[in-house]
Chains A and B, each alone.
Chain A
């Protein structure tokens, strides 16, 4: 119920922002932190770079406001634009991420989704190894795993964010989990 109420508010904010740019501030404030964390998880950019990217993202969101409809939640639509902007930026720089910005708890979250792990904490050494496993995953697998287990998006939402059919998303998640399981087992991380 709360979720639905929030969506109604989002829609109201969109209508208000179309009429008056000052009202757009409410949307930026609401989504800034979430998108900041998401961009950091998806890329290797510095804080300044992420702020620049987010500025571009929000300008795009404002430009495209008329295109938002209720086929998907506003949040999903915002993530879709952010994701596309991040990919454009990564392509521009032509460099693959050398590190990954995931908190320890987030790493454990991804790991728990792939294994029957009961622990909530791992030793620093194990965490480093897990980080390297996730970093070395192919980009498409890493992306959907982050969206599914850290951003906690549903398959339908991920489908709209990464713009791939639902079946492809399900298979990426499953295969990604299997790769992690295989790597963790073969490297005897746990």
Chain B
């Protein structure tokens, strides 16, 4: 019986002209999932680079200036939730893609997740250093739009002069005790500063420079600066789009 069955198999192979299929045909699905994984890594890295960008202006000097309690509240209010959620989703999708590959079952959840996080962090760090995130963000998210607000919640931190935080572009500067600043909402402010004002990371307050100011709104459009630091990246606002 066994011999018959074995012969039947060989006969079937011959009669039906069955041939061993090519490796590519047998593995194409697995290759697709590897490509999906690489794609999720790239996407995750982009999202991670936006997280870096949005967190960068919480400099230790700002923490000292505002105090830990205020910073904590500020962080939760303006954390880049969108990018954090998207980055987590890409790590999750990457995990599922790896598991769908032919040998995906061999890797543990911890191994796949930590590898994903590590690669996304490294690549995201690189994208940030290469300033790709800034160019991408400025092209994709038009200033003043809803999407811009979601993409750059950091800007909200510097749009509240009433709470003592103001950001914008220097329009006119005498480099002595005051300068004019145009904020994110196109409003022009007169900024007063003195020898007591802490100026971090800036040698000269030049026209065209983007700065973040901590201080107090004196009246109308006059603001007293206690602390000034540069905006973490040079913003290129396309005003024609506004």
Spell out A's residues near B (CB within 8 Å).
Answer: 17-18, 21-22, 24-25, 28-29, 32-33, 36, 51, 54-55, 58-59, 62-67, 71, 159-160, 163-167
29 A-B residue pairs with Cβ-Cβ distance under 8 Å, sorted by A, are A18-B20, A21-B13, A21-B18, A22-B10, A24-B9, A24-B13, A25-B6, A25-B7, A25-B10, A28-B6, A32-B5, A32-B6, A55-B8, A55-B9, A55-B12, A59-B12, A59-B13, A59-B18, A63-B21, A64-B20, A64-B21, A71-B103, A159-B105, A159-B106, A163-B105, A164-B105, A165-B106, A165-B107, A166-B108
Report chain A residues within 8 Å CB of B146.
none
Which residue in chain B gives the minimum CB-CB distance to A67?
Answer: B26
Spell out B's residues near A (CB within 8 Å).
Answer: 1-2, 5-10, 12-14, 18-23, 26-27, 103, 105-109
A63 in contact with B18 given A28-B9, A58-B9 (CB within 8 Å):
yes
Min CB–CB distance A51 → chain B (angstroms): 5
Which residue in chain B gives the minimum CB-CB distance to A29?
Answer: B6
Binding site secondary structure of chain B: helix
Min CB–CB distance A85 → chain B (angstroms): 14
**Is the CB–CB distance between B22 and A66 below 8 Å?**
yes
Which residue in chain B gives the minimum CB-CB distance to A17?
Answer: B20
Min CB–CB distance B107 → chain A (angstroms): 7
Report chain B residues within 8 Å CB of A25.
6-7, 10
**Is the CB–CB distance between B13 and A66 below 8 Å?**
no
Question: Most B CB atoms within 10 A — which of A17, A36, A67, A71?
Answer: A67
Min CB–CB distance A87 → chain B (angstroms): 15
**Is the CB–CB distance between B106 and A62 below 8 Å?**
no
Complex: A164 Cα to B106 Cα, angstroms: 7
A65 in contact with B6 given A165-B105, A165-B107 (CB within 8 Å):
no
Min CB–CB distance A168 → chain B (angstroms): 9
Report chain A residues within 8 Å CB of B5.
32, 51, 54-55
